[in-house]
Every structure is written in C-alpha cells, then in structure tokens.
Amino acid sequence: SQKIEQNSEALNIQEGKTATLTCNYTNYSPAYLQWYRQDPGRGPVFLLLIRENEKEKRKERLKVTFDTTLKQSLFHITASQPADSATYLCALPPRAGNNRKLIWGLGTSLAVNP
C-alpha cells in the first residue's frame, strides 16, 4: 500500500534561515502532491500543490520540489519568520479508482526562533 514518511523530529531553526521539510513516499507514482499547514487547535490549511510534471513550484516565500525518481518532495520556507512555526503536512492522492481520499503524512513540526 502507499506510504508517506515525513521527518518525525521537530525542526528548529533561527529566524531568517531557510527551513526545509521532507516528504517521502513509496509504492506508487502520484499525479500530484499537496502541502498543508496546521496550527495548534486548528484544521490544516492548504498551501501548495505540485504536479508530477512540475519540478518546482513557488508561492511567495514557499518553494516545493517534486522528484519522482527519488519519490520525494521538499518544502522550503525562505527568510523564515516566527509566524511560520506550525506543523506541515504532505498529502497524496490515492493510487487509482474513484476513491478520492487523500493519504496524509504525520507532519513535521517547525519552530522558528526569533
């Protein structure tokens, strides 16, 4: 079955540095991959989607890469700010069929220190 792995250890970085989070997947080739942000006590919020034929996607200070050979996506936050502190989740579509349930990673907690 499909499996997603995200860094389980929290990432602590200094304000202004670039944060890089990893999402690895196995056992299939998804048509796209999504990244969400979740703050404590709130539901996840969609950030970016990258398709299998896109190597890189940018949105303001966010950049996502998608390496279908490595089966990996990297999520970068440049010029990080304390307000970027949150848990970041990656999600992939199901392998096939009419089932449209996303498959979720467990998330990586990011803390940006002032």
Partner 1 sequence: GAGVSQSPSNKVTEKGKDVELRCDPISGHTALYWYRQSLGQGLEFLIYFQGNSAPDKSGLPSDRFSAERTGGSVSTLTIQRTQQEDSAVYLCASSPTSGATDTQYFGPGTRLTVL
The residues that touch partner 1, with contacts defined as CB under 8 A, are: 31-32, 34, 41-46, 49, 89, 91, 93, 98-102, 104-107
Q: Using the minimum distance from each CB to partner 1, give the nearer residue, 28 or 104.
A: 104
Q: Using the minimum distance from each CB to partner 1, give the nearer residue, 78 or 111.
A: 111
Element (H, E) at 104: strand 103-104
Q: Shortest gap between Cβ of 34 and partner 1 (angstroms)?
A: 7
Of the candidates 112, 110, 100, 109, the one whose C-alpha atom is nearest the C-alpha of residue 34 is: 100
Say how far residue 9 (Cα) sits from the centre of its chain.
14
Q: Using the minimum distance from each CB to partner 1, give the nearer residue, 69 or 101.
A: 101
Q: Shortest gap between Cβ of 113 and partner 1 (angstroms)?
A: 20
Q: Shortest gap between Cβ of 43 and partner 1 (angstroms)?
A: 3
Q: What strands, in cross-sheet order, belong to the sheet with 62-67?
A: 3-6, 19-26, 72-77, 62-67, 56-59
